[in-house]
Structure 1
Amino acid sequence: MRVAIAGAGAVGRSIAHELLGGGHQVMLIERDRAHFEPGTVEQAEWVHADACELSSLEDAGMQLCDVVIAATGDDKVNLVVSLLAKTEFAVRRVVARVNDPNNEWLFTEAWGVDVAVSTPRMLAAMVEEAVSVGDLVRLMTLRQGQANLVEITLPEDSPLAGQAVEQLSLPKDCALVTILRGGRVIVPQPDDPFEPGDELLFVTSADVEHEIQAALGLS
């Protein structure tokens, strides 16, 4: 897979290292001479250019990329890169970094974004997930907000304890995808019982997210 990364700062270089380790081809696009350091990721193709300029992207061969990652520290730049990648070069998958959570609402299909990754929101979610019991925690938004990955930890007095998975009545457009129990990752089977302390992960539409706690008897 050929991946273009706009922004060769610490984040862009880290992503490049991970992708190269997975056997992918990586092109790093950076306009700031101070961040243009090919020696830091030698296996990547480096392009010194402005990723917001259409001609620069054409010269770099953006049209040959399967995935584009807009990873700069500027949300405006990431939105422009995403829009150009999708509308001008028909890139199949566009991933964009969100630096300011207040701008997250902009990172949608209208701007060419397939997946928006908000580091501040993800870190906050990890903190909530670590300390919240019985409360629903949104971990990630999927497919332009059409679905969310959410987590809830069953408290010690959960009415669900001892009941089988098949007894759980979830709302429409919601699925229990895994149970984390101690060091185990459990793929839920109909006769698996719930236990206090279980971390339940669901994929759900935003419309019914609020109904999950009621289904678990926790509201």
Structure 2
Amino acid sequence: MRVAIAGAGNVGNSIAKELLENGHEVLLIDRDPSRIAVEGLPTAEWLLADACEISSLDEAALQRCNVVVAATGDDKANLVVSLLAKTEYGVPRVVARINHPKNEWMFDEKWGVDVAVSTPRLLSALVEEAVSVGDLVRLLRFSQGDANLVELTLPNDTALVGTTVGEVDWPEDTALVTIIRGGRVLIPTPEEPLAALDELLFVAHVDREEELEELLSPATFAGENGERGSENE
């Protein structure tokens, strides 16, 4: 896979290092000569240029890239790079860094962004994920399809404990991606039973998150006729 990264700061370099170690081709683009550190990542390609300019992206042969990562410290630059990558060069996957949470609303498919990564939101989500049981935690937003990667730790007192994945009537537009149990990563087959304190990771449409949280809540149970109700009813 060929990946172009706009922005060769700490974030861009860290991404490039991981990708190179995984056997991918990486091109780093930055207009600041002090950031062109070839000796640090000798197996990467380097381009001293402004990634917001068409001529620079032509030189980078962006049309050959499978993924573009807009990782500069400037949200305006990241939006411009994303839009050009998608509309002018048809890059299949565009990932953009959000530096300021107030700008998050702009990072969507209209600006060519497939996946937007907000560091403040990610950090707060990881804090919530570490301490929350029974509450839905949004880990990552996907721009296309209005979907999020969400996590929920199954409470001890939910009626779903002991049922199998295939027995649960999951909401539409949600997909159980994996189950994390005691340090193990499990593939959620229909026969897999759910256990208390399982960490369930879903890709879910934003409109289905409330329904998904309600389904997994300890405040609901499945009656004999299959309808859910409240313990207080």
Settle same-fold status: TM greater than 0.5: yes
Who is 1:39 aligned against?
39
Is 1:108 the counterpart of 2:121 in the alignment? no
Q: What secondary structure sits across from 2:12 in the alignment? A: helix
Identity %: 62
What does residue range 4-23 of structure 1 map to in structure 2 within 5 Å?
Answer: 4-23=4-23
Task: Give, in angstroms, the shift of residue 170 of structure 1.
Answer: 1.7
Amino acid at match of 1:211: E
Q: What secondary structure sits across from 1:38 in the alignment? A: coil
Task: Give, in angstroms, the shift of residue 145 of structure 1.
Answer: 5.1
Q: Is 2:113–2:143's contact at 8 Å kept on the other side of the alignment?
A: no
What does residue range 71-150 of structure 1 map to in structure 2 within 5 Å?
Answer: 71-144=71-144, 146-150=146-150
Is 1:214 the counterpart of 2:193 in the alignment? no
Task: Give, in angstroms, the shift of residue 153 of structure 1.
Answer: 1.0
Q: Is 1:168–1:216's contact at 8 Å kept on the other side of the alignment?
A: no
Task: Give, in angstroms, the shift of residue 118 of structure 1.
Answer: 1.4
1:104-158 CA distance string (max 9 Å, x none): 1111111111111112211111110100011111111224352211111122222
- Aligned residues, how many? 219
Alpha-carbon distance change, 73 to 169 in structure 1, aligned in 2, over 3 angstroms = same
Q: Is 1:155–1:196's contact at 8 Å kept on the other side of the alignment?
A: yes
Alpha-carbon distance change, 3 to 213 in structure 1, aligned in 2, over 3 angstroms = closer
Deviates most, 2-11 or 154-163: 154-163
Q: How far apart are the structure 2 equivalents of 1:102 and 1:190?
A: 41
Q: Is 2:174–2:208's contact at 8 Å kept on the other side of the alignment?
A: yes
Q: How far apart are the structure 2 equivalents of 1:65 and 1:48?
A: 18
Amino acid at match of 1:12: G
Normalised by the length of structure 2, the TM-score is 0.87
Alpha-carbon distance change, 167 to 11 in structure 1, aligned in 2, over 3 angstroms = same
Who is 2:163 aligned against?
163
Alpha-carbon distance change, 146 to 157 in structure 1, aligned in 2, over 3 angstroms = same
Q: What secondary structure sits across from 1:77 in the alignment? A: helix
Alpha-carbon distance change, 145 to 74 in structure 1, aligned in 2, over 3 angstroms = farther
Q: How far apart are the structure 1 equivalents of 2:60 and 2:160?
A: 56
